[in-house]
């Protein structure tokens, strides 16, 4: 098969069923070996979790250039408008032509292995980041962690955002089972940053990290978030990580929820920047941009505001409800909600 157009590549990829993920690492390892193991030439920050991992990846991508990383790759999912959003270098999406060229080279092995959509895209991303000679890649897991296709890398840092009930048909019905899948991205001797205060989950990660000889940094135990007097308007907030304080401007929706994500990113970057001894070389009042699809307010010609948000599990929707109640206490709210059938949607609707 020969791919002539970008649209041909998308047709092939979507035919692999973009909403199905096959857990296991054999396929991705063989696929990457056929591409001369591009991941072996890259540095990674590996991010897992249920809620907030996309935002945390966004903040890492924003901050890394200030630490001297000249080419930063970003791999996230899902995309909102264009498939190319999933694979960025310095904020620029992968090109149509590069996708076509890679698909033509990789097609025989993709077909032979019966590679899934996510395996195809992961291998494509690693090949592109190696081609671009990225000096750091921010890597978001697709589903879970232990058997996710991204877990074939040896990262410089792991970050695990809070977990909730999601993908229970594949990860387990108990929160401890889901947590066990997520923390399995921890690698020997590699620092990990979490945001967790549930005793049973803390006991699990303590035991697992001890086996891996990896030190866990828990931002839930840090005096980390400080608001200015004008915390309800854009432009006035700061974060204290335990060693350093950073100030920011910008509007980031639900500040508590997003500042926890930002705090995890900051603590992680401190760990790979002289092991946290020095303050990160960030500019004063760095502007933190609004993420599309995360409590994103749209104002059109109508006096009616529209808000877009990707919350799709109970914890995420609770955060959304809290934000709406605090920001618009007296407004009538109309909700249009769509969710995949594999989600635990009953408590979400309630």
Q: pLDDT tens for residues 30-49?
A: 999 999 999 999 999 999 99
Query: In terms of C-beta distances under 8 Å and separation of at least 24 residues, what long-range contacts does 32-41 make, across chains too?
Result: 32/123, 32/126, 32/152, 34/106, 34/109, 35/106, 35/123, 35/126, 35/127, 38/126, 38/127, 38/129, 38/130, 38/131, 39/126, 39/130, 39/152, 39/153, 41/130
Write down the residue that tokens 């296991």 correspond to: 24
Q: Are 150 and 139 in contact (CB under 8 A)?
A: yes
Please state the pTM of the whole predicted model.
0.88
DSSP of 106-117: HHHHHHHHT--H
Report residue 167's pLDDT band, with 50, 70 and 90 as the boundaries: low
Report residue 233's pLDDT band, with 50, 70 and 90 as the boundaries: very low
- Please tell me what DSSP assigns to residue 202: H
Residue 287 pairs in a beta bridge with 249
Indicate if the alpha-carbon torsion angle 165, 171, 177, 183 is positive or negative. Answer: negative
Which residues are CB-contacts of 343 (< 8 A; sequence separation ≥ 6)? 166, 312, 313
> In whole angstroms, what is the distance from residue 155 CA to residue 197 CA?
25
Per-state percent for the chain, helix, strand, coil, to nearest 5: 45, 15, 45
What's residue 229's pLDDT?
41
Per residue in 261-287, pLDDT tens? Answer: 899 999 999 999 875 567 899 987 787
Is residue 129 predicted with pLDDT exceeding 70?
yes
Across the beta sheet with 72-75, what order do the strands follow? 92-93, 87-89, 72-75, 136-140, 44-48, 157-160, 192-194, 216-218
Q: Compute the mean pLDDT over every residue in the chain, rounded to the nearest whole number.
A: 87
Q: Are 160 and 191 in contact (CB under 8 A)?
A: no
What's residue 169's pLDDT?
57
Q: Are 286 and 262 in contact (CB under 8 A)?
A: no
Per residue in 182-232, pLDDT tens? Answer: 999 999 999 999 999 999 999 999 999 999 999 999 998 876 556 554 444
**End-to-end Cα, the chain, rounded Å:** 48
Report residue 154's pLDDT band, with 50, 70 and 90 as the boundaries: very high
What's residue 322's pLDDT?
85
> In whole angstroms, what is the distance from residue 74 CA to residue 263 CA?
19
Indicate if the alpha-carbon torsion angle 328, 334, 339, 341 is positive or negative. Answer: positive
* Cβ burial, residue 169 (10 Å; 0-12/13-18/19+): exposed
């Amino acid at each position: 098969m020969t791919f002539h157009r970008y649209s041909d590549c998308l047709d092939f990829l979507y035919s692999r069923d973009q909403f199905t993920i096959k857990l296991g690492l054999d396929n991705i390892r063989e696929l990457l070996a056929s591409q001369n193991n591009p991941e072996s030439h890259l540095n990674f920050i590996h991010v897992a979790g249920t809620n907030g991992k996309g935002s945390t990846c966004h903040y890492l991508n924003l901050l890394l250039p200030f630490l001297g990383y000249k080419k930063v790759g970003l791999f996230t999912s899902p995309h909102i408008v264009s498939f190319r959003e999933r694979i960025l270098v310095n904020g620029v999406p992968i090109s149509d032509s590069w996708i076509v060229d890679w698909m033509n080279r990789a097609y025989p092995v993709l077909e032979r292995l019966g590679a899934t959509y996510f395996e195809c895209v992961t291998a494509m991303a690693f090949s592109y980041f190696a081609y671009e000679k990225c000096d750091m890649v921010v890597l978001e897991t697709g589903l879970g962690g232990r058997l996710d296709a991204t877990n074939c890398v040896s990262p410089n840092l792991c970050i695990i955002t809070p977990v909730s009930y999601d993908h229970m048909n594949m990860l387990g019905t108990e929160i401890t089972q889901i947590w066990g899948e997520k923390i399995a991205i921890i690698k020997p001797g590699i620092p990990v940053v979490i945001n967790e205060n549930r005793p049973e989950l803390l006991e699990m990660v303590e035991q697992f990290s001890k086996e891996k000889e990896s030190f866990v940094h828990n931002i839930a135990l840090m005096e980390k978030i400080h608001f200015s007097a004008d915390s309800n308007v854009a432009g006035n907030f700061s974060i204290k990580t335990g060693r350093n304080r950073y100030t920011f401007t910008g509007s980031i929706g639900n500040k508590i929820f997003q500042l926890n994500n930002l705090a995890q990113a900051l603590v992680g970057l401190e760990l790979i920047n002289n092991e946290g001894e020095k303050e990160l070389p960030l500019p004063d009042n760095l502007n933190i941009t609004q993420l599309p699809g995360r409590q994103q307010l749209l104002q059109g010609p109508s006096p009616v505001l529209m808000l877009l948000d990707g919350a799709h599990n109970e914890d995420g929707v609770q955060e959304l409800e809290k934000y709406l109640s605090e920001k618009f206490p007296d407004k009538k709210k109309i909700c249009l909600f769509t969710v995949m059938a594999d989600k635990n949607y009953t408590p979400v609707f309630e």
